[in-house]
Every structure is written in structure tokens, then in C-alpha cells.
Structure 1
Amino acid sequence: MTAMPYVLMYHSVEKCDSDPLQITVSPARFAEQLRRLAERGLTGVSMRELLRARAAGNARGLVGLTFDDGYADFAGEVVPVLLRHRFTATVFVVSGLLGEHNAWDAGAPRKPLMDAEGLRWAAMQGMEVGSHSAGHRSLTTLSDADLEHEVAGSKTALEEVLGQEVGGFCYPYGHVAEREVRAVRRAGYSYACAIWKSPVTGTHALPRTYVGERDGALRLWAKQARHRLRWARWARWARWAR
């Protein structure tokens, strides 16, 4: 396994008074974060673009930008800022809840989700749409049949909405083990995103770096440095282990 790509994990970008789950970044902070990336010579890209560039050996200076859950603010707040920087991103959406809200976050502020029209618009702006399952359930707790519906069924549903292939998957809550990776591969996804490094880390369980409201320039730099150090150590260990 080669060193993992540097991928940032966002959720929602909007003004809010309460954020108990710490999934929301204010528009001003988000604009600052993208500006800082650009000032350091980094280009934010979708996972599709990042992995293609890595395969071609020209991913230097690229950072993956991902947005989980498919909130409506992706279209209203995120895409315009991305376009100003000529960045792209991947938004992972819950296929069975298009146009509804984050019903899985019990007790948290209600957030609207993008509808089918919003997804198609985002794709037309150059953004990648990936699957975040059909119902945002923890896949490791499901039967094999339900797992198939959440993984393969969501891919089929989104492809019907978009009229194009959906190549990326994102595990709800980051919950993933070998069975779930096999299901994602079997469904035909070319990659998948997790959250943490784990025994199944690889192209179908890519770890990501969380980004929140507190992440200013210094914290973003520190997170990138930590990522580089972590995978440099892993590469040295892998060479020694062979």
C-alpha cells in the first residue's frame, strides 16, 4: 500500500446557533480555510480527480475535499466558494432521503438535504456525487440483505437520478470492516471513504482528516503535517516489514 492521500472531511457549511455534533463550519470560516489552502499552493479536488491523478503520478499539491450527508447548503454555500478557487469536491449523499432532512441525528438541529435537482446542478458544476448509503444506517449492524440495499441499492438509485456512473462510497459513521468493504467492491464502486485508519484501510476504506469551525490556518497546517508524518512512518515500517 502506498501512502494515503490527504483528504479533508466536511459536513455542513452554514450559519448556526447550535452545533452539538460539531459538523458545521460557518461560511466565513470555510472561505478562509479554502483561501489558506490556495495560499499554500494546494488545490482542492474531488476524490475522483484525486485518485485519477495519483494513478497517473501527478497528484502533487492536490488535496481531496469531501462533504458527507449531502446537506442543501452544499449547493448554496459550498459550491460557489469552490468555483471561485477553481476547486472541486465530492459530496456523499443519502439516496433514500433526497430533499428531506438529517433524520438520523436524533436531538440535533434539523438540516435540509439536497434534492435530485440540487444533485444534478452540483454535478453540472463539476462536483462529484457519491453514495453515503440509502438510509444512513451503521452498515456493520445490518443483515447481508440490508447491507446490499444500502450499498448497491443506493448506487443504482443515484445513477438513475444523475444519469451517470457513481464511483464513490462513504461509510456512515465511519463504521467499516471486511464484510462492508467486500460489499462495496462487489457493488462496483472504485473507491470508498472511511474516517479513521483501520485494519481495512486501503482504496475502499480511505481515512480522512476532520475539519471543523475551530480549524484556522495554524490548525490546518498542523493537521497536514501530522498526516505526512503518520504516513511517512508507515512507509518506513512497511519497507522494514518486507
Structure 2
Amino acid sequence: MYHSVDGRTGPADDPYGVTVAPDRLDRQLRALRDRGLRGVSVRELLAAARTGRARGLIGLTFDDGYADFLDTAVPLLRRHDCTATVFVLPGLPGGTNDWDPLGPRKPLLTEAGVRACAAAGMEVGSHGLRHRSLPAADDAVLRAETEESRALLREMTGAAPEGFCYPYGHLDARSVAAVRAAGYAYGCAIDPGALGGVHALPRVHVGQRDTGPRLAAKYLLHPLRRRPVVPAAAPVVRVP
């Protein structure tokens, strides 16, 4: 689970730890490849898991849809023959991360930028409409964040997104049911606990401090800390 890739934001200006410098991402991707692993979109990972071909694949996600994903992350991903899923906010095209009370304002992808990400071979998923916490949302907001965001992304890219990412990692049984009812094939969480499943996939945060050994440790500890996920028509697998 990544967010922003920006060499201009130092640790002192990044209170939420969402920024990774380009050279650090480059080294992290190289560390994966050196270990025989390849980063792919969640869509590709789940498709491979359903046919027993997920070995060696790591699902890479970039939350919030920052403009630097297209400008900085995509070239690095392609350099290492990797893909990823970028979760965007179709209700805030070209906006900024105003939901963060601290830290620098970061520009978000425009509609053209979202289309360019898809054209570059990256999976585009929904992060909701305007980055609102779903458990606290009333029924109208919940529908907008799930159903309306999916419809807007279909208009932007020409294809309905398969994936949804819960803003802030917040979820409950009601929000998981809404994501499933909206037609998403999967949902990404962080530590979903008992709600874990294809519509609440666990993920591991990756930040600026993560060196190769730290990534390896996170990879080994992931199946011990989080419940296994069972894709449809497949044996039990652990999603990295």
C-alpha cells in the first residue's frame, strides 16, 4: 500500500507517512525483483490466484490518486516490468488532499491523468467519490461514494472499475456490503480483521523507511498477521 511518490516532501513535512521518494521506490521495486517477485495490479493478482498462478506476484496499490503516480511512479513501475492499481477520487479531479488537516497539499490526478494511467497499463480503481469515511456515512453518501464513483470512472475510462479502496481503511459490515452491491469485484482494506475477504483485502503499508530487509520481513509476517483470503473457485491463498 503506497500513496504519494514525491522527492520534494521530506519526513518532517509528511506527518502521515504517505510519501516515498522516487529513488526509494526504485530500490524497493528492485528489491522485489531481486527476490524473484513482481509487482502487479490487484486485478491481475486475484485473477492469477483463481487459477493457482499467484506465486511470485505482489499486489501493488497507490491510494488517493495523486498526480505524481502518473508522473513519477508509472515510469519506475514500467522500468521494473511491474504494474499497479491506483485508487482515485473521481469526485475531486485535479483537486488536492484537503482531507488531510496536516502536511502539504498534493495535487490529484485530473480526468485526463486518470485516462493516461489506464492507457499506461495500470489498473484504475475507486477510492470513493470524495475520500469520506464509509462507516460514518448516511445511506445517500454511502451510495455516492460507492455507486456514483464507479459510474464516473466508467465515464472517464470507458470501463467500470473492478476494485474499491476504503478511505482511511475504515470499514464495517454495512460498507463492505455496499461495495459488493455496487458491483465491485474486490475491495482493499488495511487490517479488516473478521471482515477480511475478497471485498476487504488486507494490505501492508510501505513507506520511506522500508529498505529491502524491511520489505522482506513484512512479506514474511503478512500471512501471520492477517487472515487468508479465498478467491472464488480457488484454494486458500494468502495475498501478499
Same fold (TM over 0.5): yes
Distance 2:57 2:169 in 1: 23
Distance 1:92 1:224 in 2: 22
The structural deviation recorded for 1:232 is 8.7
C-alpha spacing 1:49/1:57, structure 2 compared with 1 (3 Å): same
Aligned pairs for 1:79-228 (under 5 A) are 79-228=74-223
| 2:51 is equivalent to residue 56 of structure 1 | yes
1:13 to 1, 5, 8: 5
| 2:27 is equivalent to residue 35 of structure 1 | no
Distance 2:46 2:135 in 1: 26
Query: What's the secondary structure of 1:159's corresponding residue?
Result: helix
Distance 1:115 1:197 in 2: 30
Contact 2:191 2:226 in 1 (8 A): no
CA deviation vs aligned residue, 1:21-76 (integer Å, no higher than 9, x gap): 11000111010000000000001000010000001110100000000000000011
- 5+ residue gaps in structure 2? 231-235
TM-score, length-normalised on structure 1?
0.91
Amino acid at match of 1:172: P
The structural deviation recorded for 1:146 is 1.1
The structural deviation recorded for 1:228 is 3.4
Overall identity of the aligned pairs, in %: 54
The structural deviation recorded for 1:197 is 3.3
Higher relative contact order (CA 8 A, sep 6+): 1
Amino acid at match of 1:129: V
Distance 2:190 2:17 in 1: 15
C-alpha RMSD over aligned residues: 1.7
Distance 1:105 1:231 in 2: 27
Q: Which has the higher helix share?
A: 1
Query: Could you list the runs of 4 or more consecutive aligned residues of structure 1 that deviate by over 4 angstroms after TM superposition?
Result: 231-235
The structural deviation recorded for 1:227 is 1.3
TM-score, length-normalised on structure 2?
0.92
Distance 1:199 1:161 in 2: 34
